[in-house]
Amino acid sequence: MRRNTIILSFLILYFTALNIMSQEFPDTVIGINRSDYRVYLKTHAPLDRLYCQGEDFYFLVDRNELRQVEESGIEIRDRYLAPQENLVGLEISSSQGDINGAYHNYNETRSLLKELETRFPGMAQEITIGYSIEGRELNVIKISDNVQSNESEPNIFIVGCHHAREWISVEIPLLFAKYLLENYSLDPQVRRAVDGAQIYIMPIQNPDGLEFSIHTYRLWRKNRRYNGGFIWGVDTNRNYGYMWGYDDNGSSPAPDSEVYRGTAPFSEPETQALQQFLTANPPVGSLSFHSYGQDILYPWGYTFTPASDAARMYAIAREIAYRIFLVSGRVYTYGSMITSLYLSNGDFTDWVYGTLGGLAFTIELPPEYMHEGGFFTSEQMIASAFAENLPVLLYFTNYFITGSDEIGFDDQEPFREKVSPLRTSQSF
């Protein structure tokens, strides 16, 4: 009996090992000229682009994709094996996708948005609002009833991934888009949001940086602007035009700084695209997702002087914290930007509020502390962070439809007292 068990275990191990060894992982990097790639894209699915150098794009491909490129007849100008240290991660976590596992990379996000548009043509419209420095599409999905027409409904704007290494910030907007569309006919709260507002969702503001963080350097923050002198990157969340470069508190004129604000307001295509798009479609409310810290922040970021709508934004931030706490018990701190203890200028929310007049919030997702992983969020974190932020997103949208902050939560009113510690007053 025991001998049979040993033999059986051995066989299971053997076949598992065989299975793992026979799996196909992309391991080759190829360089293709930009115009050749355009031709290739007309008849093939996009490849996983790592970076660009001059007029050449570099892609990570598996054996199958390599064969397709070869058969397409376009010229492969450079070819090498991906560095081993990347491949180790690749084998461990690619069960659910790219080397970033269950997290969505740029191609996966773009494909999912286009798939949603195809599946829900009356409610979803993918809008390419511009191109990143390395030529990636900047994708927004509009979700509304009668999506093709511009209605006089409040515009809500939700954005993720200004900062490359904050992978979880892609997931919340993206999963929200999917959730809205898939639950429209099931959930009255979703229907109210989709019917009553025009919801614009942009999961990745900084696609070049995200890909660089996935494939090359995990802790990359900025975009991939070449600043000269072998220095790359502008902090896109310091490049917006309201009080840009007001002082050097939290933003920097030095190209090698992690908070480099660029040479001028809106010098970057990633912020320019949003300037044009949101000026044409101004949001009454916007949420910008980041990680980490578990904070809900609102303008001003550039000064300690309270914004004229500070009391109203404080009340909304408190409602957001309350809804999160009800789902997961996680405590998010809330207050104006200064409660995060540092000033900065040129950020997205100051521009939305200061120039466009919309109420604007930054949500710093979990974890709370560096010693809990910081930017290195687990795959499991995606589900719990989404679950606790889903009521927030629905509340926020419905707030602007009805002007009431209690929508959909009347039945939970008796639990309110339980979270009184969250409701102690904070400065703003």
Catalytic amino acids?
364
Strands, E assignment, 327-391: 333-336, 359-365
Least separation in angstroms between CB 368 and ligand 0X9 = 12
What letter does residue 415 receive in the DSSP assignment?
G
Min separation Cβ 291 and ligand 0X9, Å: 6
Binding flag, residue 65, ligand 0X9 (CB under 6 A) = no
Which residue, 32 or 243, is less far from ligand 0X9 as judged by CB? 243
Q: How far is CA 15 from the centre of its chain?
A: 39
Report d(CA 9, CA 291) in Å as an integer: 43
DSSP string computed for 162-206: SSTT-THHHHHHHHHHHHHHHTTTT-HHHHHHHHH-EEEEES-S-
The binder of 47, among ligand 0X9, Zn ion, none, by C-beta within 5 to 8 A per type, is: none
- The answer to whether 350 touches 299, Cβ cutoff 8 Å, is yes
Which single residue brings its beta carbon nearest to Zn ion?
290
Paired sense of beta strands 198-202 and 155-159, if any = parallel
Q: Which of 104, 110, 142, 163 binds ligand 0X9 (CB under 6 A)?
A: 163
Instruction: Please say which residue, 142 or 221, places its beta carbon nearer to ligand 0X9.
Output: 221
Q: Any contact of residue 163 with Zn ion (CB under 5 A)?
A: yes
Q: Which does 245 bind (CB under 5 to 8 A by kind): Zn ion, ligand 0X9, none?
A: none
Residue 337 binding: pick among ligand 0X9, Zn ion, none (C-beta 5-8 Å cut-off by kind): ligand 0X9
Residue 307 · residue 298 · CB < 8 Å: yes
Side-chain-side CA neighbours of residue 48 (13 Å): 24
Site string for Zn ion, 278-307 (x = CB under 5 A): ------------x-----------------
Residues 6+ apart with CB under 8 A from 273: 129, 130, 131, 138
Task: Give SS3 for 282.
Answer: coil
Q: For residue 262, give the nearest of 223, 296, 228, 235 by alpha carbon.
A: 235
Span from 118-126, 162-170, 180-188, 244-252 in contact with Zn ion (CB under 5 A)? 162-170
39, 331, 343, 422: residue in contact with ligand 0X9 (rule CB under 6 A)? 343
Decide the pairing of beta strands 198-202 and 333-336.
unpaired
205 is a site residue for ligand 0X9 (CB under 6 A): no
Contact pattern for ligand 0X9 over residues 236 through 255, marking x by CB under 6 A: -x------------x-----
Residues that bind ligand 0X9 (CB under 6 A): 163, 166, 237, 250, 290, 297, 301, 337, 340, 342-344, 347, 362, 364
